[in-house]
Amino acid sequence: MEKLTYRQPGGKIITRALLMLLAILMLVPVAVTFLYSFFSPSEIKAFMQTRGSYDDKAWMAIKLSPQIFSLSQYYEILIRDTSILRMFVNSAFYTVLILLGQAVVVPMMAYALSRFRFRGRDALFFGIIMLMLLPFQVTMVPNVLTLRSIGLLNTIWAVVMPMWFAPFYIFLIRQFMLGLPNELLEAAQVDGAGTIRCYAHIVIPVCRPIIGAAVALSFADCWNLVEQPMTYLSQRVDLQPLSVMFNQLASESAGIEFAGAAIYILPALFIYLYFLKDILAGVQLTELK
């Protein structure tokens, strides 16, 4: 059946229709967030106040165009009251610090685990896999014990430092490096390059797609941080990233929350567009089993 329809263009119409419906479901929430960010704060406020009514005759209006197209939500959050902007900066700060640390630690570890033979390598890799399988509820305990004993709880490093050693990205990049042809490094060795030269000048450039993919995936994690700041920074409201504040913004509803969401989505959108090719290539070229 499948292969018959493969040859008949008409047979793909249902496939396309289903996928179109799916694409709409995936894209609409993002599109509507941007759309609502151009409504005036008073209109959004009035709209959000119609939520939570249990009157069986009343409906929330379906709003698809603003009464007046307005940038005042953006004006409010970017210029008048910068408290949302400050939390946005917190988020960006965490993300940059985490990604920088991972850029040092993760590829080096993956390189050692994939291109070297040394005693205890298999045990180490096994340990990393075990760590990868553990949910956050479990790993937060050792993290807290260490952070508490060195006095880093309720500082930004409590969120940042444990994330530097994320086992999933070590696994991901190691799998990719395992697939690199041996000739590549042997040729360099014949030319007199040592392990460090090989790493910096051959392995890292060749691993560009998977490193790009790892950056994008890790960004997605960092940009949606919730558990870590909530537990490790429970006493520091001023250090919370924007991702934990939307719940509060929605219940207070000052009419500016959609612009807040829109500016929060925007960097993620850029990362998505910039790294899309890398994610696809990285997943395709990695032996992920």
Partner 1 sequence: MFTHKKSVWLFLLPGGLGLMFFYIVPFIGGVYYSLTDGSYRNAFVGMDNYVAIWKNQMFVLGLKNTMELSLICAPLVWVLSFAIASLLNRLRPRGAFFRNSVLLPYLMPSSAMLLIWLVIFDYGGVVNRLATAMGFARVIWLQGSALRVPVVLLFVWKNLGFAVIIFLAALQAIPEPLYEYARLEGAGFWRQTFGITLPMIVPTAFLIIILEWINAFKIFKEVYFIGGAYPDESVYTLQNYMNNMYGKLNYQNVTTAAYSFALIVFALFGALFLTQRQLLKRLS
Ranges within 13-52 binding partner 1 (CB under 8 A): 15-16, 18-20, 22-23, 25-27, 29-30, 32-33, 36, 48, 50-52
Tokens standing for residue 147 = 């952070």
Contact residue for partner 1 among 64, 137, 205, 238 (CB under 8 A)? 137
SS3 64: coil
CA dist 143 and 82 (Å) reads 32
Q: How far is the CB of 34 from partner 1 (least distance, A)?
A: 11
Read off the DSSP letter of residue 243: G
Read off the DSSP letter of residue 16: H
Q: Does 59 bind partner 1 (CB under 8 A)?
A: yes
The closest of 158, 174, 253 to 207, measured between CA atoms, is: 174
Residues 6+ apart with CB under 8 A from 184: 202, 206
CA dist 28 and 7 (Å) reads 32
How many of the chain's residues bind partner 1 (CB under 8 A)? Answer: 111
CA dist 181 and 196 (Å) reads 18
Please identify, among the stretches 65-73, 77-85, 204-212, 271-279, the one whose residues bind partner 1 according to the rule CB under 8 A: 271-279
Pick 46 or 283: Cβ nearer partner 1: 283
Contact residue for partner 1 among 13, 42, 60, 81 (CB under 8 A)? 60
Quick one: how far is CA 36 from the chain centroid? 23
Tokens standing for residue 205 = 């450039």
Angle at 105 between CA 150 and CA 239, to 5 degrees: 50
Contact residue for partner 1 among 49, 234, 237, 252 (CB under 8 A)? 234
Contact residue for partner 1 among 70, 73, 90, 143 (CB under 8 A)? 143
Q: How far is the CB of 13 from partner 1 (least distance, A)?
A: 11
Q: Does 254 bind partner 1 (CB under 8 A)?
A: no
Ranges within 145-164 binding partner 1 (CB under 8 A): 145-146, 161-162, 164
Pick 71 or 178: Cβ nearer partner 1: 178
Quick one: how far is CA 23 from the chain centroid? 20
Q: Does 217 bind partner 1 (CB under 8 A)?
A: yes
45-63 burial: b if 16+ Cβ within 10 Å, else e: eebbeeeeeeeeeeeeeee
- Residue in the structure block whose two tokens are 């939307």: 246
Pick 16 or 80: Cβ nearer partner 1: 16
Q: Does 132 bind partner 1 (CB under 8 A)?
A: yes
* Residue 73 contacts residue 85 (beta carbons within 8 Å): no
Ranges within 164-193 binding partner 1 (CB under 8 A): 164-165, 170, 182
Q: Does 278 bind partner 1 (CB under 8 A)?
A: no
Q: Does 83 bind partner 1 (CB under 8 A)?
A: no
Q: How far is the CB of 71 from partner 1 (least distance, A)?
A: 18
